[in-house]
Structure 1
Amino acid sequence: MNANKALWEKGDFTQLAQTMRESGEALVNKIGVNKGMHVLDLGCGDGTTALPEARLGATVLGVDIASNLVQAGNQRAQKEGLSNCKFQEGDACDLQDLKDHSFDQVVTIFGAMFAPKPFEVASEMVRVTKKGGKIVMGNWIPGDPTLVAQILKISSAYTPPPPEGFISPMLWGVEEHVVERFGKAGIAKENISFERDTFTFRADFSPEEFLAKFQNYYGPTMNAFEAAQKDGKENELKRELETLFKSQNQSGSQDKTSIPATFLRVTVQC
Structure 2
Amino acid sequence: MATIAPPTTNPNKALWEKGDFTRLAATMRESGDELVETLGITPGMKVLDLGCGDGTTALPAARRGADVLGVDIAANLVAAGTARASEEGLANLRFEEGDASNLAGIADASFDLVVSIFGAMFAPRPFDVAREMVRVTRPGGRIVMGNWIAGDPTLVAQVLRISAAYAPKPPEGFISPVTWGDEAQVRERFQSAGIADGDIACERATYTFRAPVPPAEFLAVFRNFYGPTMNAFEAAERDGKAEQLQAELAELFEAQNRAGPTATEIPATYLKVTVTRT
Q: TM-score, normalised by structure 2?
A: 0.96
Which residue of the partner structure matches residue 249 of structure 1? Answer: 257
Counterpart CA distance in 2 for 1:143 and 1:15 is 25
Counterpart CA distance in 1 for 2:137 and 2:95 is 18
The answer on whether the counterparts of 2:163 and 2:232 sit within 8 Å (CA) in structure 1 is yes
Counterpart CA distance in 1 for 2:70 and 2:156 is 23
Q: Percent identity?
A: 66
Which residue of the partner structure matches residue 180 of structure 1? Answer: 188
Which residue of the partner structure matches residue 267 of structure 1? Answer: 274
Deviation by residue 1:57-91 (Cα, 9 ceiling, x = unmatched): 00000000000000000000000011001000000
Per the alignment, in what secondary structure is the counterpart of residue 166 of structure 2?
coil
Counterpart CA distance in 1 for 2:99 and 2:18 is 16
Moved >6 Å (runs of 4+) = none
Q: Which moved further from structure 2: 27-36 or 196-205?
A: 27-36
Deviation by residue 1:216-239 (Cα, 9 ceiling, x = unmatched): 000000000000000000000000
1:225 aligns with 2:233: yes
Which residue of the partner structure matches residue 147 of structure 1? Answer: 155
Deviation by residue 1:168-201 (Cα, 9 ceiling, x = unmatched): 1100000000000001100011000011100000
Deviation by residue 1:22-70 (Cα, 9 ceiling, x = unmatched): 0000000002211110000000000000000001000000000000000
Counterpart CA distance in 1 for 2:240 and 2:101 is 37
1:162 aligns with 2:170: yes
Unaligned residue ranges in structure 2 (runs of 5+): 1-8
Counterpart CA distance in 2 for 1:43 and 1:164 is 24
1:14 aligns with 2:22: yes
Deviation by residue 1:90-138 (Cα, 9 ceiling, x = unmatched): 0001000211000000000000000011000000000000011000000
Give the alignment of 1:91-130 within 5 angstroms. Answer: 91-130=99-138
1:197 aligns with 2:202: no
Per the alignment, in what secondary structure is the counterpart of residue 157 of structure 1?
helix
Per the alignment, in what secondary structure is the counterpart of residue 45 of structure 1?
coil
Q: Give the AA of the match of 1:262.
A: T
